[in-house]
Amino acid sequence: MASLIKLCALLIAQFFIGSRIISATVFTFQNSCSKTIWPGTLSGNGAAVLGGGGFALAPGESMHFPAPPGWSGRFWARTDCSFDATGNGKCATGDCGGGLKCIGGGVPPASLVEFTLANGNAEKDFYDVSLVDGYNLPLGVRPTGGSGDCQYAGCVADLNKSCPSELQVIVSGEVVACKSACTAFNSPEYCCSGDHSTPATCPPTSYSQLFKNACPSAYSYAYDDQTSTRTCAGADYVITFCSATS
C-alpha cells in the first residue's frame, strides 16, 4: 500500500511539473490608439488560430488569448474597417480577406509582430516587430514574467508623417500607411531576391535605413536579424498598438 501511495504521489507530481512545462503563453492586446482597430492573427504550421483570426478592439480596450507551446504566427492591426452584421467587409490597411475573421496575412503595408514560441522550459521564444511589409501604425511588444534577454521590440514612431511620397498610401487625402521599398518597386535590390538573395548582395538601402533610424528595434528589411530578433523564456507578452514609448 505504501508503495502504491508513493507511486500515485510521483505521478501527480509529474503531472503538475508537466503542466508547468506545457502551460500556455498569454498574449495581451492593448489598443492605445484614438480609434477602433481590428487586429488580425495568422497562425503557422497548423497551429491554433487565436482570436478567431481577427477581432475589434476599441480605444483603451484589452483582450487576452492563450497560445499553446510551439505556437508560431503573426499579429497586425487593420485600420478604418467596415464590417456588416455577418462580418463581411474590408479595411483601408492590413486587410486580410475573409472579412472580420482573417483567412490570410495582412495586405502590405502593415506593421507586424511575429512569434515562435518554445516547446518547453529549456527553449526560448523568438519574437520581432517587422516593417519588412511596410508600416501602418505604431506597434510594440513587451515580455512579462520571463527570463533571459527579454527585450522590448517595437516601432513607436509615426512613420506615416515621415514617409517618402513614393511610398505613401493615401486615403481621402490622408497618409494611412507607408509601403516598404519592396512593395513599392518590386525589384530584387529592395526585395532581396534573385541576384540579391543573400546578406552580402542585399545590404540596407536608403529606404530601409529610414525605417531603421526611426525604429531601431524593428526589422527594417529582410536581413536585419542581428538588431531585431528578440528571445525570452517563460514569458507572457503585451502587444500595444499606438504605443507611445518603448
pLDDT given for residue 16 in this prediction = 35
> Does residue 116 have a pLDDT over 90?
yes
pLDDT given for residue 48 in this prediction = 84
3-state secondary structure of 197: coil
* Cβ neighbours of residue 82 closer than 8 Å, sequence gap 6 or more: 89, 90, 91
Query: How many domains is the chain built from?
Result: 1
Residue 202 is assigned to a structural domain of this protein: no
List the grid coordinates of 229. Answer: 530578433
Average pLDDT over residues 55-76: 96
Q: What is the CATH number of the domain that holds 115?
A: 2.60.110.10
pLDDT given for residue 225 in this prediction = 80
Residue 129 is assigned to a structural domain of this protein: yes
Average pLDDT over residues 103-123: 89
- Would you place residue 103 in the very low, low, confident or very high pLDDT band (cuts 50, 70, 90)? confident
Residue 76 is assigned to a structural domain of this protein: yes
Residue 210 is assigned to a structural domain of this protein: no
Are residues 78 and 35 in contact, defined by beta-carbon separation less than 8 angstroms?
no
- Which residue type does 238 have? V
Residue 86 is assigned to a structural domain of this protein: yes
> Does residue 141 have a pLDDT over 50?
yes
- As separate numbers, helices (DSSP H) first and strands (DSSP E) second, the chain gives 5, 13
3-state secondary structure of 81: strand
pLDDT given for residue 21 in this prediction = 46
Residue 92 is assigned to a structural domain of this protein: yes
Residue 90 is assigned to a structural domain of this protein: yes
**pLDDT (tens digit, 9 = 90+) per residue, 202-242?**
999 999 999 999 999 999 999 988 789 999 999 999 999 99
- Would you place residue 138 in the very low, low, confident or very high pLDDT band (cuts 50, 70, 90)? very high
Which range of residues forms the domain containing residue 131? 24-156+215-241
Residue 175 is assigned to a structural domain of this protein: no
List the grid coordinates of 22. Answer: 506545457
> Does residue 133 have a pLDDT over 80?
yes
pLDDT given for residue 45 in this prediction = 76
pLDDT given for residue 4 in this prediction = 39
What whole-number distance in Å separates Cα of residue 182 and Cα of residue 163?
14
pLDDT given for residue 195 in this prediction = 94
The residue with cell 513587451 is: 142
Are residues 197 and 191 in contact, defined by beta-carbon separation less than 8 angstroms?
no
Q: Specify the pTM.
A: 0.86
pLDDT given for residue 22 in this prediction = 54
Q: Output 30 or 4, whichever has higher pLDDT.
A: 30
